[in-house]
Amino acid sequence: MAAAILAVAASLPALAIPPVPRPAGEFVIPMPDGTQKLLTSFRGKVVCLAFISTTCPHCQHASQVLTKLYQEYGSKGFQPLAVAFNPMAKMLVPDFVKSLNVAFPVGAAESDAVFQYLGISPLERSVVPQLLWIDRQGEIRSQTPAMGDEKMLGEPYWRSMIEALIKEPAAARKPVHHAAKHTAGSGA
């Protein structure tokens, strides 16, 4: 039976991650307190939307680094957000936030909604965290490839994205930065 499922999965076309730049559609982030945050409510800010697993050491480290960057760049318009989508995430998020001193909103969502938003098939192998960099106008300018990219998952890249995007005004559309050219399989 497992072999048959794998054969069917292998025959399905892999979903290509949608190109960047592209509009960041609405994403509803269910919060642990029962409220919801709308991604579009952060328009006008530079947003790093991190899709994480609360049990992943890389995601834990990323959340701590994003907290540090938020403390440094928040007053200039940078806003990190995280969405946990691992099993029991809704229950695990409050302890995750507290134990790691995460200083930005962290919610939890169903994995199907996350994969659909990212444009990744749930049958495709992918790594966490998955990061989207969204400019002040609500355009996704960079997205981590499904299988990750070591360069794109490090603080130097994150700083370069924040510094480049916070310089852009919210009203005027600017040319795409080098970071926006990163797509799945680019390896850059």
Q: How confident is the model at residue 49 (pLDDT cuts 50, 70, 90)?
A: very high
Regarding pTM above 0.85, the answer is no
Amino acid of residue 156 = P
Give the other-Cβ count within 10 Å of 51's Cβ: 25
**Once rounded to an integer, what is the mean pLDDT over residues 20-29?**
96
Q: How confident is the model at residue 92 (pLDDT cuts 50, 70, 90)?
A: very high
Q: How confident is the model at residue 4 (pLDDT cuts 50, 70, 90)?
A: very low
DSSP 183: -
- pLDDT at site 12: 42
Report the distance separating Cα 28 and Cα 118, nearest Å.
Answer: 14
| pLDDT at residue 136 tops 50 | yes
- pLDDT at site 131: 98
Q: What residues does each domain of the chain span?
A: 15-181
**Once rounded to an integer, what is the mean pLDDT over residues 146-167?**
95
Q: Are strands 130-134 and 46-52 parallel, antiparallel or unpaired?
A: antiparallel
Of the candidates 106, 130, 107, the one whose C-alpha atom is nearest the C-alpha of residue 120 is 130
When the pLDDT of each residue in the chain is averaged and rounded to a whole number, the result is: 86
**Once rounded to an integer, what is the mean pLDDT over residues 37-62?**
98
Domain spanning 15-181: CATH 1.10.8.50 = no
- pLDDT at site 16: 60
- Comparison of pLDDT for 94 and 19, the residue scoring more: 94
CB 64 within 8 A of CB 56: no
| pLDDT at residue 171 tops 90 | no
Tens-place pLDDT, residues 140-152: 999 999 998 999 9
Percent above pLDDT 90 for the chain:
76
